[in-house]
Amino acid sequence: MDQIVRVKQIYEDGTAQVICIRESACSGDCHKCSGCGAAKEAILLTVENPIGAGVGDLVNIRSETGPVLKAAAVLYMLPLVLFFAGYALAAALDQSGALFGALAFMLSIVLIVVYDRRMARKENTIYTITGYAAETLLCAEKRG
């Protein structure tokens, strides 16, 4: 996952603090469709700085996709799997499948909240500066 960000501060340990502007999926044109009115949010990230970027530089950062895919699997697959497991267990016990399925689904929501809080305490996503943004923009102009 790549993003263009601006370097705010550099550190002696080879890392840098960057500022990332997070926009909503609708690109903030809410006045056109009377939508949610989502505002842009500035996020500070600490990233690896192998290229030695300086303060104020516009750079590309890349994050590992593993933690994101793992979280997506937990969020989308766990409720589905537990619902059908609860339904199957109810069928084996000659009980109401919908009730057991619903209880298993609620259990999955609790497990997801616990997982989310545990992952929030760990900063397991590693971001790395991969190059200057101007280089990316020049390459895109040459291709287009």
CA 125, 128, 134, 136 torsion: positive or negative?
negative
Domain ranges of the chain: 1-63+125-144, 65-124
Task: Name the pTM for this structure.
Answer: 0.56
- Counting as low any pLDDT under 70, the low residues of the chain are 23-39, 123-125, 135-144
Question: pLDDT digit string (tens) for 62-91?
Answer: 887 777 788 888 889 999 999 999 988 888
Q: Which CATH fold topology does 1-63+125-144 show?
A: OB fold (Dihydrolipoamide Acetyltransferase, E2P) (2.40.50)
Closest CA to 61 of 125, 142, 143: 125
